[in-house]
Amino acid sequence: MRPPSACLFDLDGLLLDTEPLHARAWQAAAAHFGLELAAGRLLALRGRRRLECAQQVIAWMREAGVVAPSVAALLAVRQPIADALMPAARPMPGARQLVETLVQAEVPMALVTSSSRAAVALKAAPHPWLAAITSRVHGDDPELAAGKPEPDPYLLAARRLGVAASDCWAFEDSPAGARSASGAGCRVHVLLPQDDPITRIVLQQLPEGCELLQSLEAVTLG
């Protein structure tokens, strides 16, 4: 296996165990307005930008006949809940060790996340090891034309590192993120969730050619 020219990492659910916290925040906000969010719908929100998630939740409310709030009103309920939860997020097993291994091997890295710059700063503050990933594409990046599942975030990250996307390894945990990385031409590694029902749904939605991981501890550079 040829070593990567660069490694491109998602953040939520990949390097930090934030997805259960995001789910709690979206469930609480939706329930506040009268909609219960099941596991399949929560999975559909993974990997996508906050505004797009809010628009999707509102669309589900309208489909269910629930009086839907504005995007601003929904986020005004959801965001304080999320902000209070995120600093408690722990690293995913093997995440810190993988980043440190890549630093030692002098493999360039970039963070490719749908989270805003401010949200990443909040989540990363308890984890100084993330500072090693200095190149970052955020969901609110002014150079980003479209978010995941479009290929734009990964193409932008590769361009900033000065490498071809096809020579990069991308690490994702969501179908939306995997489609984004695959569309950019990256070699895609998908960290599967530990929840068996969710894993089955994820597997059904992944693009072809993804390499599946049970843990980041299993990653080797070839």
Catalytically active residues, by annotation: 10, 12
Q: Is the Cβ–Cβ distance between 221 and 199 less than 8 Å?
A: no
3-state SS of the chain?
CCCCCEEEECCECCCECCHHHHHHHHHHHHHHCCCCCCHHHHHHHCCCCHHHHHHHHHHHHHHCCCCCCCHHHHHHHHHHHHHHHHHHCCECCCHHHHHHHHHHCCCCEEEECCCCHHHHHHHHCCCHHHHHCCEEECCCCCCCCCCCCCCHHHHHHHHHHCCCHHHEEEEECCHHHHHHHHHHCCEEEEECCCCHHHHHHHHHHCCCCCEEECCHHHCCCC
Regarding beta strands 109-112 and 6-9, do their DSSP bridges make them parallel or antiparallel, or are they unpaired? Answer: parallel
Helix 175-184 to helix 152-161 angle (10° resolution) is 50
